[in-house]
Amino acid sequence: MIEKKLCERMSAFGITLTDEMQRQFDRYFELLVEWNKVMNLTGITDYDEVNEKHFLDSLAVVRVLDLSGTDRVIDIGTGAGFPGIPLKIVFPHLHVTLLDSLNKRIRFLGHVAEELQLADVELLHGRAEDFAKKKEYRETYDLCVSRAVANLATLSEYCLPYVKENGYFIPYKSGEIEEELDASKKAVSLLGGKIETVEKFTLPGTDIGRSLVKIRKVKKTPGKFPRKAGLPSKEPLH
C-alpha cells in the first residue's frame, strides 16, 4: 500500500525505507484512521497527506542532526506520536519517550507501539512541567523534539530541562519565524540553551515550508525552571 512517492521523498533525506519500515508506516496509518473515528488525534486522514505532513515531516530532523549517534529521545506534546513514532520506526536503536497530557492519546500510542512491535518506547501521561522536575527525566536526554504548537520561549521552558549538556532541543516550526526567534533568545539562554542554526526548507516533493531550530544545551537549566504548570504558556520568559 505504501507509495513509491514516500520512499523517494525519504531518500531526499538520505533515508532508505526497508520493507519492514514500510509495513510499519502502513499499519500506523491504518491505526491512526481507525482510532481517529472515536477520538480527535488528527485533522489529516488522507493517505498522501498523512505521509507528507506527518511521516515525512517527522523525519525532517535528520537535516540538522545525525541520529545514528543519538541514544535517548523525548517527544514533548507528542499528540498522535509525531515526530516520535516515525523516528523510532526509521531509527530502531533509539530509546524514545513520548509525553502527552491526554491519557487517551497515550493509550493509542501504547497500542501503536504494541502493534508495530516497537521496543524501548516509554509513555508518559502528564504535563511537561511536572516530569521535568523528576530526576530520572531531568537532563537525561540526548535530544528533545516537539511539534507542539507553542511559542519558542514557552516551548523551550517545557523542553530544555530534559536535555543533557551538549544535547539538543529541536522544535519543528513552520515557515517564517524571525520574530519568534528574536523574542525567545533570552529565554533560551536563561534555560541553558544556545541557538546554533535555523534550517529553512520545503518538504521534499511538497510546497510545505518548514523551519527547524537547532538549540544546543550549553549549561545546566537552573532548578527553578520549568515554573509551575501553566505559567510557561501564560507568562513566557522574555
What three-state secondary structure class fits 163? strand
Place of cell 516551548: 155
Helix residue spans in the chain (DSSP H): 4-11, 19-36, 47-50, 57-58, 84-90, 103-115, 128-131, 152-159, 178-190, 231-234
CA atoms within 13 A on the CB side of 125: 9
**82 known member of a binding site:** yes
- Close Cβ partners of 80 (under 8 Å, ≥ 6 residues apart): 32, 41, 42, 54, 105, 108, 109
CA atoms within 13 A on the CB side of 108: 28
**128 known member of a binding site:** yes
Q: Residues annotated as binding site for S-adenosyl-L-methionine?
A: 77, 82, 128-129, 147
Q: Residues annotated as binding site?
A: 77, 82, 128-129, 147
